[in-house]
Amino acid sequence: MSLARFELLPEELRVFLSGDLTMANTGKLWPEMQRFVSQNKMRVIVDAASVSRMDSTGVALLVHVRQHQEAINQQFSVVGLPEPYEKLYHLFDQGTLEQTWEDEEIYWHLDQIGRATLSAWERFQSLIAYSGEITVNLLQSLLSPGKIRWKDFFKTVEHAGVYAIPITMLIGFLLGLILAFQSAIPMRRFGAEIFVANLIGLSVIRELGPLMTAVVLAGRSGSAFAAEIGTMRINEEIDALITMGFNPMKFLVVPRLLAVLLLSPLLTMFFNLAGLAGGAVVMLSLGFPLVTYISQVQSTADYSDLLGGLFKAVVFGWLVAAIGCYRGLQTLTGASAVGASTTSAVVSGIVLIAVFDGVFSVMFFFLGW
């Protein structure tokens, strides 16, 4: 049975459709319909009263003929189409088929905003879940010290702590030296060079000591943790641990986290000593005796300042170790995956250190500490 009958009149072409205009049949009718319409450039009226069934393929045929007629400035109409299929046909009007470049750009920007928001929310949820997981595993390990991998703990202490002492003290000494020289210039105008010692003592012990030590840890240890665990992730060693029944958190993260929690206040003390030594060199070069410098520092910074700085050092150490292991566990596959995880660990660690340092500054201000 033919799906279409064509009737050529003087001023119009009538097309009588019948049967099923579905995917199985419309493909046969399409070239015949296109040939008749192309040869007879006149008004086209489609009578679809005898159509028994139609899907999107039949609608696409009607839309194609309509677009052809619009392109040659000829009229096109469909009559007698059953109501359900008429609604489907009118869904494909000119407004839905034509979309301006501006609309596409707007939709693209909205899509990017939505994807970024969803991605940020998923990362936030993952970070919260990870924080809770490492806290639980750390408490469980402290309650059962025999289950802690002390070999990895002492290895981390050696690499992240002992080997970091020279670079930490060098940066501390140079920073104390620079800070003293820079502050002595404006102080000299008011004859108050003696108060350079007060400035160095307070700034190094309360702020610069824990902050710069944490930055050094993020650059050395945080990146190392991300690279080590990321390499294990790519080599499927972590999957092997899970298969054998080991908890990667207790096996990999807890020893590193405990080591950095112990190391961060100790390295901060070394940084403080080196920073004060750098300031002492400058004060001695300015003609002040060493006993005067020590007296000024003691009169300005007390044990509360030292404890406050060490407390910040512990929190910063937690952030560095946790984010380094987190980025390592998140490592994807590929040649650049480990490098990307290492970079992300350092950047994320420094950003979190700055954020929490700002929170501590506001908190200490309102507490009067």
Amino acid present at 281: V
Sign of CA dihedral 186, 192, 197, 198: negative
Task: Assess whether pLDDT exceeds 80 at residue 53.
Answer: yes
Give me the phi and psi of 193, to 5 degrees please. Answer: -65, -25
- For residue 204, the 8-state DSSP code is I
Q: Would you state the pLDDT for residue 88?
A: 76
pTM assigned to the model: 0.68
Q: How far is CA 82 from CA 45, 77, 134, 339, in A?
A: 16, 14, 64, 62
Amino acid 304: pLDDT: 86
Structure tokens at 289: 């005796």
Neighbours of 43 (CB within 10 A): 15
Is 22's pLDDT higher than 60? yes
Tokens 């190094």 locate to 204
Q: Select the highest-mean-pLDDT range: 19-33, 211-225, 240-254.
A: 211-225
Mean pLDDT value across residues 69-77: 83
- The first and second tokens of residue 52, run together, are 């028994």
Going through the chain in order, the beta strands assigned E by DSSP cover 4-8, 12-21, 43-54, 76-79
Q: Is the pLDDT of residue 282 over 60?
A: yes
Residue 94's pLDDT is 55
Is 60 exceeded by the pLDDT of residue 224?
Answer: yes
- Quote the mean pLDDT of the chain: 86
Q: What's the per-residue H, E or C state across 21-59?
A: ECHHHHHHHHHHHHHHHHHCCCEEEEEEEEEEEECHHHH
Please give the single-letter amino acid code of residue 86.
E
Q: Provide the token pair at 33.
A: 């319909």
pLDDT of 267 higher than 90 = yes
Which of 48-52, 104-108, 272-276, 350-354 is predicted with the least confidence, judged by mean pLDDT? 104-108
For 18, phi then psi, to 5°, come to -155, 160
- pLDDT bracket for residue 84 (50, 70, 90): confident
- Contact between 29 and 21 under an 8 Å Cβ cutoff? The reply is yes
* Strand, coil or helix: 4: strand
Tens of pLDDT, residues 134-182: 889 888 888 888 888 888 899 989 988 899 999 999 999 999 999 998 8
> 299-332 pLDDT, tens per residue?
888 888 899 899 999 999 999 999 999 999 888 8
Q: Is the pLDDT of residue 246 over 80?
A: yes
CA–CA gap between residue 81 and residue 76 (Å, rounded): 14
pLDDT digits (tens, 9 = 90+) for 24-45: 778 888 888 888 888 878 888 8
Per-residue burial over 2-28, b if 16 or more Cβ lie within 10 Å, else e, is ebbebeeeeeebebbbbbbbeeebbee
Neighbour-count burial for 331-359, b at 16+ CB within 10 Å, e otherwise:
beeeeebbebbbebbbebbbebbeebbee
Residue 189: predicted pLDDT = 83
pLDDT-derived band of residue 103, with 50, 70 and 90 as boundaries? Answer: low
Taking alpha carbons only, the member of 202, 169, 177 closest to residue 273 is 169
Coil vs helix vs strand at 1? coil
Lowest mean pLDDT among 105-114, 126-135, 144-153, 266-275: 105-114
The string of DSSP codes covering 143-167 is H-GGGS-HHHHHHHIIIIIGGGHHH
Given a cut of 80, whether residue 91 has pLDDT beyond it is no
pLDDT at 102 over 80: no
CB-based contact 181:284 (threshold 8 Å) = no
